[in-house]
Structure 1
Amino acid sequence: MYKQWGFLFYLIICCPGLFAQQIVLKDTLSTQETKDTVTRNFDHLYDIGDGIKDIIRFVRHDTTTRISRKPSGISILPNINYNPSIGFQIGAKVVGGVYVGDPENTTMSTFATALSYTTRGIIYGYLMHDTYTPKNKWNLKGGIIVAKMVGLDYGMGMGNVVETAIPEEETLNNPERTRFVNQYTVYGFNERIYKKLLPGMFVGAGVFIELKRSIHTLGDHEYTPLEVYSDFTGYSAQSYNNNGLMFNWQYMTRDNPNSAYKGIYTDIVLRMSQAWMGSAQSAYQLQTDFRKYWQLSSSRPNHVLAFWHWGSYNVGGRQAYLDLPGTGKDPFARTGRGYTNGYFKGNSFFYSEVEYRFPILRNQFLSGVVFANVQTANDRLGTKLFQQWQPAGGTGLRLLFNKATRTNLCIDYAFGRFGQRGLFLGLNEAF
């Protein structure tokens, strides 16, 4: 314990840039005005890379003033993570951002790739991108996923008690929130392309291919939610395909995709599973994603109030059990902090969250958040969407990991009902 406190004291005394506004000399060879915002206005910011450099300079007894350099838009780090859904995770992760056009009229393009293993036996590899061409004329986003998944399963619906004479339906509704564990392998690909119609407004289309194999529930159970739902809906409980088309409408004015200070992001997707493309069944989901950011201070730009809504509504057909929308089923699995992924789910799902983000240090190295969220879903026993709600909330810290891309290392503690709580770590804001 004393060694830990000693190391903290060492950081405070020897690396004051971590805890105070950093003052550096500008590179006189780089004073020419440039439109590249990646190279401007970072001298007053301090990120983890700066901290590492200052520690190395101290160890080497280097007393020269650190010259500000063009910050890199790429972050490479060990992918060490934890949340109740996946357990402890270790691996490697690369995230980055780059402008492929003039930053004055082109949104930052971002990408992420990772390969990881978790203590729950999950092996997960992906490559994702969100690319904006010069002047935002086109936006392409998508990714590839290959994974061996282990998913905690608590049945369908919101955990409310509904009387039924059929044991299988009670298992599916699972009012006692008994935990089941599903294993499966997934191969996924999706790609969307958007064309700008008006400033900030895009329309587009895309395709998705999802192959799920070797599906099974661990342990001995008379009934499992996976098997009961599959029997009711005619899906295979061992393997199936979910392939189809997407039509999209997007409106975006937010100033940064990783940590927005102001603006709006809206994405509406009609997702159509198609039997003629190899899907087990045809089904239709309307997905909505809306985010709004209010900047609360001009002098402290990361003082922000943020709102998020994500929803998925069934408009035809039936989804397979593993594809039902629910907690953590958004594209980046960030909804529902306070619950494990898939804790609540239904044919339709509605989620909203509000987060207050506040600065702690003026150089933005350290900041904090407080958040609260609610979610609702329907079930097969007559519970309607918006009839039952389940809340969660929490607080967290943010460490500025890469000032060029506003990438934060996020450390959150969140709690919900049914004894659900846990630590959630990750890169970039939840929304």
Structure 2
Amino acid sequence: MLYGNILTPRGWRLGTLEWRDGRIVAIGGEPVDPTTNAHPRLLPGFVDLHVHGGGGADAMEGGDAAATMARTHVRFGTTSLLVTTMTAPLPDIRQALRDIARTMDRPPAGAARLLGVHLEGPYLNPGKLGAQPPYAHPGAIADVEALMELAPIRLLTLAPELSGHAALIGQLRERGVRVQMGHTLGSYEEGVAGLEHGAHGFTHLFNAMTGLHHRKPGMVGAALAHADYAEIIPDLLHVHPGAIRTALRCIPHLFGVTDSTAAAGMPDGEYRLGEQHVTKCLGGVRLADGTLAGSTLTMDQALRNLVQIGLELDDASRRLSQYPADFLGEREIGRIEIGCRADVVVMDAHLEIDAVYVGGDQVHRGSSTPNVSTTPQAAGASQEKHRCR
């Protein structure tokens, strides 16, 4: 049982949060403005759909890399994530997927939940690779199905303008794979067509795609004009705060991802991103030529960044928990609601982490201890009746 300012889908409540067998069973208390007290903020665990690495480990290394990533990011409030691969020779992708699946079969203790794989490439435009290695090529459903036999691919990024990809988008949707458009030189019209064929959103909006011009709206224009969902990297390096605010006005369910690399949670130095060598310095990760190569962002910092640029805490939280969970079709995570998994981030008034719970188990504890005690009067207060949906 925890006591504090609880963020539910229907607003803040000051009271008790109870769970049993890893699921929320009661939410007590009354509506509250959390800025009026110093009690902890109890937020839904963050859901990160774009994670290449962390703690010195890169997803493409295979082995125990996915476990290291999950243990690293849970310290920063991420309770569920997609392990994200890179464009690479197919044998390397296959081996990475086998090792990710092996880790998922034996979930690591004290770690974020692994929801599956985000396959970012190799079905990208060779002319818009960013920090991706030069192994991009068009895809076909048979190729993806072969990879899906190795690990659960939940999300796939592709360039919609490549030959055969219009049909591939629809085929992937039929198989329950979410499709995002990214690393693309596609036009506005090709972006709109991709959505019509069944694409669900856009990968790291603004980055590695054709930009907005008033006579050539580009892929960014298609997203701003038509998208319901898109991911964005709110590290304030990849995208200017003004551009983030523009996207917030246009895309109802814009959600944040870290696009983090092995350098996340680590000191400055040299790291790997797939087969690339990258350098962490001054809060960013870059190739030798200065190209941004993923990030060092963690989700707790993403939350603070979004609040810093003007979002209310509840809105910022939803964009790092409920919206990405909804995008992936996960209805039992990303929200504090009766029947949902007890994935909770406990933060102080300065939005620093006190504790992290995954399925009701405390897997990380900050420098201060959250108030886990309550009183019979508090426990008996009015309780939230809505259920996970």
Q: Above 0.5 in TM-score?
A: no
TM range (shorter): under 0.3
Structure 1 or 2: more strand by fraction: 1
Give the TM-score normalised by the residue count of structure 1. 0.26
Structure 1 or 2: more helix by fraction: 2
